[in-house]
Amino acid sequence: MNEAAALTVSVVIPVFNGGDDLDKCLAALMRSDFPLLECIVVDDASTDGRTRQISERHGARVLEMEQQSGPAIARNHGAAEAQGDILFFTDADVVLHADAISHAVAEFQARPDVAAVIGSYDEHPVHPSFLSRYRNLYHHWNHQAAGPEASTFWTGCGAVRRDVFLGQGGFSDEYDRPSIEDIEFGYRLRAQGGRIRLLRDMQGSHLKQWTLGGIVKTDIFQRGVPWVVLLKRFPESPPDLNLKRSARVATALAGLFLLSLLLLVPGHPASLPAWPWGLLPLLAVAGIAWIQRDFLRLVRQLHGIGFALATVPMLVLFFICCGLAVPLGYLEYWREKRR
């Protein structure tokens, strides 16, 4: 038996009222082309009464939290019980490709110095709504466009050596709701010299249905604000994913878009004439579209020109949310330091 085959894998999945999504997630895991040592489902105090029945039907082991504590603590609970050499984390609304776990194991075998690996969503999100297809595709593209040496971890489709994970103390228990506990773990791991690789072929389909309110809430409060705080804690973190220089320029252009709209409102002392200042918001939007042209090219290829055009306002909204998260994040960091 070669060393790669000797590696054992424990899959850990936190779930709260997973329902049919959990059923699809576990069914996909059972089709994995790499044999699993175990699959551990951590029920974070679900109220639908279905988690145990669905999990046991697929041969998964179920751990039950006494009270809802958030996915970070639930994953830690599962990892503490796991026996595999590799901890593979995924979410209850992700359908992993059959070869996803094999890609992770092969990377650990080929690079003994690699502590963790992450993958990406695929380019075929399941939910048919425009918002869901846009959002899940954008996540896919951000990972596919990133370099192979990652600076963060990701629990949607990510694996880490168990001894490394436990040595780092797992995910921070300060995150008691879905947030950026995986990013924080990745920063902490990198700061200690751990190496994280991004494997573009290690993929899964995302089942999540997004709403406009959910997108705004996530981008500002569940990711943006805590990520700004995290960057203050880890100032040496490399610019990756949404932190590239191009993304920062797009955020500035989104701010210009908002400011120019305010200055074009007639009837106040600072209002500007429509010509030529009315071109400012259009130029800002054009600049964001140019910066995101590779993503727009992808969605045009997949869904046509109409989808691509409808995506542009969503990108503007995304970078507006990023801009709003910055001062709120600095305020939260200041409050944290005061405490």
Residue 229 lies in a domain: no
> Within this chain, do residues 135 and 260 fall inside the same structural domain, yes or no?
no
Mean pLDDT over residues 100-123, rounded?
A: 97
- Residue 337: pLDDT band (50, 70, 90) is confident
Mean pLDDT over residues 60-67, rounded?
A: 97
Residue 20 has pLDDT above 90, yes or no: yes
> Within this chain, do residues 272 and 171 fall inside the same structural domain, yes or no?
no
Residue 233 lies in a domain: no
> Within this chain, do residues 262 and 146 fall inside the same structural domain, yes or no?
no
> Within this chain, do residues 189 and 295 fall inside the same structural domain, yes or no?
no
Residue 203 has pLDDT above 70, yes or no: yes
CATH of the domain at 180: 3.90.550.10
Residue 141 lies in a domain: yes
Q: What is the mean pLDDT of the chain?
A: 93
Residue 232 lies in a domain: no
Nearest-angstrom CA–CA distance, 225 and 329: 4
Residue 226 lies in a domain: no
pLDDT tens-digit map of 257-273:
999 988 877 776 677 77
> Within this chain, do residues 160 and 86 fall inside the same structural domain, yes or no?
yes
pLDDT at 276: 77
Higher-confidence residue of 141 and 275: namely: 141
Identify the domain boundary among 167, 186, 209.
209
pLDDT tens-digit map of 25-39:
999 999 999 999 999
> Within this chain, do residues 42 and 174 fall inside the same structural domain, yes or no?
yes
> Within this chain, do residues 150 and 253 fall inside the same structural domain, yes or no?
no
Residue 227 lies in a domain: no
| Residues linked to residue 197 through DSSP beta bridges, in sequence order | 117, 149
Contact criterion met (CB below 8 Å) for 129 and 237 = no
> Within this chain, do residues 333 and 274 fall inside the same structural domain, yes or no?
yes
> Within this chain, do residues 167 and 43 fall inside the same structural domain, yes or no?
yes
Identify the domain boundary among 158, 191, 209.
209
> Within this chain, do residues 139 and 56 fall inside the same structural domain, yes or no?
yes
Mean pLDDT over residues 103-113, rounded?
A: 97
Residue 64 has pLDDT above 70, yes or no: yes
pLDDT at 145: 92
Domain that residue 316 falls in: 241-338
pLDDT tens-digit map of 208-220:
999 999 999 999 9
Pairing of strands 149-150, 157-161: unpaired
Mean pLDDT over residues 89-112, rounded?
A: 98
pLDDT at 3: 46
Residue 275 has pLDDT above 90, yes or no: no
Nearest-angstrom CA–CA distance, 288 and 278: 17
Residue 225 lies in a domain: no
Identify the domain boundary among 168, 186, 209.
209
> Within this chain, do residues 155 and 247 fall inside the same structural domain, yes or no?
no
Higher-confidence residue of 79 and 263: namely: 79
Nearest-angstrom CA–CA distance, 336 and 338: 5
Q: Which of 52, 11, 16, 57 is nearest to 32 (CA)?
A: 11
> Within this chain, do residues 57 and 201 fall inside the same structural domain, yes or no?
yes
**How many domains, the chain?**
2
pLDDT tens-digit map of 137-191:
999 999 999 999 998 999 999 999 999 999 999 999 999 889 999 999 999 999 9
**Phi, psi of 26, rounded to the nearest 5 degrees:** -70, -35
pLDDT tens-digit map of 207-255:
999 999 999 999 999 999 999 999 999 988 776 666 788 999 999 999 9
Mean pLDDT over residues 48-55, rounded?
A: 96
pLDDT at 115: 98
pLDDT at 237: 77
* Cβ neighbours of residue 297 closer than 8 Å, sequence gap 6 or more: 308
Residue 224 lies in a domain: no
Least confidently predicted of 1-5, 122-126, 316-320, 333-337: 1-5
